[in-house]
């Protein structure tokens, strides 16, 4: 029996939830698969009244663990800890039947509890790392960041040490973990996150029709790390004629960003919510898609929206760390323009450059984005890499 531990799972419209579902469906073709997840709560404020699921070959068990969809540190710690404890109890009860565990779960407490119990019972663990902790938190708390790293870095080292294999989503994440956690490079695999690229292919238009208004667009969660307030202020203070800015998504800072936009009543700035199945169609109406992250975040992360943006065959304006993998991809493949993070003047400069570009130059950038995505970021390529790894570890265990 293969266990998939997933911190989020459909009907939650989160990229990692879709990854876990795709993995479960593919693995269950030749294996008995059980998915363990907490009650669905993402995005914050969403109510799931009915949890009836489509009949699948895998079994999905929703554990009665504490959840905290709000971005609150104490609540998130309790959520991670409690989910880990519930998974541990299931593993202890069923340990003789389990051949392997794939886990894409909350850091660090859930990961620690699960890795410890699996190490105790000599059950292989494939741990999927989406973001690097404690660094992701310490960067947001400058005064106490070094203390947080000193306390929690040894915990993460132990988690990775206990894992049979570790999956990261970028080469720079792998190199960073190998260097700072003291683990072998052979233990870490780079497998990109994917989207349902069929959705983008179905509505991909030929981009030969110009918009009446040149459209800058941000699509994704409106949270502190996304720097959406910077995008709004940069656009609002510019005198760009026949341009509009569309912010599509929800998140804890949406209301604050709406208030910021009210300062620029003479500018065309609008907000909408968007369902996951509508993203491809919405992004096809943009001229430029904006990706913005606070300083330091992109160095150890590869945001899922990059894949969605590139599959939409649109040029990308990225306000990110220049030494990040996102910047490398955009620069080396002529997918758009980049600028320093947290820098309004730089972002405004690139906005003006984009608006002046010839329509066919924009189309060329978009085509380059699409080609890179199809060659490196598709579900077909990366799902099979992950399934092959799981099957290989399972065979090693049984040998």
Lowest mean pLDDT segment, chosen from 143-147, 297-301, 317-321 = 143-147
Domain match, 116 and 13 both? yes
| Token digits of residue 379 | 């579900």
Distances (CA, A) of 20 to 15, 27, 164, 375: 9, 10, 19, 22
- Are 390 and 366 contained in the same domain? no
DSSP conformational letter for 129: P
Q: How many domains does the chain have?
A: 2
> Residues 151, 57: one domain?
yes
Average pLDDT of the chain, as a whole number: 92
> In this predicted model, which residue has the larger pLDDT, 216 or 137?
216
Task: Specify the residue for token string 């593919």.
Answer: 26
Q: What is the pLDDT of residues 1-52, one digit of tens each?
A: 999 999 999 999 888 999 999 999 999 999 999 999 999 998 877 888 776 7
Q: How far apart are CA 33 and CA 30, in angstroms?
A: 9
pLDDT tens-digit map of 319-328: 999 999 999 9
Q: How far is residue 127's CA from residue 102's CA, in Å, rounded to a whole number?
A: 6
| pTM of the shown model | 0.88
pLDDT tens string 384-399: 999 999 999 999 887 6
Residue-wise pLDDT for 182-208, tens only, equals 999 999 999 999 988 877 887 765 455
Model confidence pLDDT, tens digit, residues 246-297: 999 988 899 999 999 999 999 999 999 998 889 999 999 999 999 999 988 8
Same-domain check for residues 228 and 273: yes
Residue 8 is given by DSSP the state: S
Residue 63 belongs to domain spanning: 2-194+378-398
pLDDT tens-digit series, residues 326-381: 999 999 999 999 999 999 999 999 999 999 999 899 999 999 999 999 999 999 99
| pLDDT given for residue 205 in this prediction | 55
CA dist 111 and 163 (Å) reads 10
> Are residue 370 and residue 382 in the same domain, yes or no?
no
Query: Is 206 in the same domain as 188?
Result: no
Q: Do both 146 and 253 map to the same domain?
A: no
Q: Mean per-residue pLDDT for 228-250?
A: 95
Spatial CA neighbour of 234 closest among 304, 282, 272, 288: 288
DSSP states of 64-79: ------S--HHHHHHH
For residues 155-178, average pLDDT: 95
Query: Which tens digit of pLDDT belongs to each residue from 85-113?
Result: 999 999 999 999 999 999 999 999 999 99
Are residues 122 and 75 both part of a single domain? yes
Instruction: Judge if 259 and 305 occupy the same domain.
Output: yes
Q: Tell me, what CATH number does 394's domain have?
A: 3.40.50.2000
- Residues 201, 117, single domain; the answer is no
């Amino acid at each position: 029996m293969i266990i998939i531990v997933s911190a989020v799972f459909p009907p939650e419209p989160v990229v990692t939830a879709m990854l876990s579902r795709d993995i479960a469906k593919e693995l269950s073709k030749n294996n008995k698969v059980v998915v363990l997840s907490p009650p669905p709560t993402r995005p914050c404020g969403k109510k799931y009244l009915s949890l009836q699921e489509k009949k699948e070959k895998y079994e999905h068990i929703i554990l009665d663990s504490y959840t905290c969809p709000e971005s609150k540190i104490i609540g998130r710690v309790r959520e991670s800890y409690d989910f880990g404890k519930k998974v541990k109890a299931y593993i202890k009860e069923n340990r003789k039947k389990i051949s392997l565990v794939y886990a894409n779960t909350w850091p660090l407490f859930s990961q620690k509890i699960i890795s410890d119990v699996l190490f105790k019972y000599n059950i292989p663990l494939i741990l999927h790392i989406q973001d690097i902790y404690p660094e992701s938190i310490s960067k947001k708390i400058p005064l106490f960041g070094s203390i947080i790293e000193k306390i929690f870095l040894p915990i993460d080292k132990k988690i990775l040490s206990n894992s049979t294999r570790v999956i990261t989503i970028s080469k720079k994440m792998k190199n960073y973990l190998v260097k700072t956690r003291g683990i072998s490079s052979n233990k870490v695999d780079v497998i990109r996150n994917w989207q349902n690229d069929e959705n983008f292919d179905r509505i991909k238009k030929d981009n030969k029709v110009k918009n009446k208004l040149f459209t800058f667009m941000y699509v994704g969660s409106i949270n502190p790390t996304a720097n959406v307030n910077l995008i709004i202020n940069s656009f609002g203070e510019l005198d760009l004629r026949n341009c509009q800015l569309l912010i599509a998504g929800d998140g804890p800072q949406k209301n604050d960003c709406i208030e910021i936009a009210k300062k620029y009543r003479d500018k065309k700035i609008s907000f909408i919510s968007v369902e996951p199945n509508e993203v491809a169609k919405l992004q096809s109406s943009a001229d430029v898609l904006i990706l913005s992250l606070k300083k330091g975040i992109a160095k150890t992360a590869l945001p899922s929206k990059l894949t969605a943006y590139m599959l939409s065959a649109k040029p990308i304006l990225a306000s990110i760390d220049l030494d990040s993998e996102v910047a490398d991809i955009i620069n080396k493949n002529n997918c758009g323009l980049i600028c320093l993070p947290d820098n309004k003047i730089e972002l405004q400069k690139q906005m003006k450059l984009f608006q002046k570009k010839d329509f066919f130059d924009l189309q060329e950038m978009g085509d380059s984005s699409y080609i890179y995505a199809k060659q490196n970021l598709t579900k077909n390529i990366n799902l099979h890499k992950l399934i092959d790894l799981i099957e290989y570890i399972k065979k090693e265990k049984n040998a």
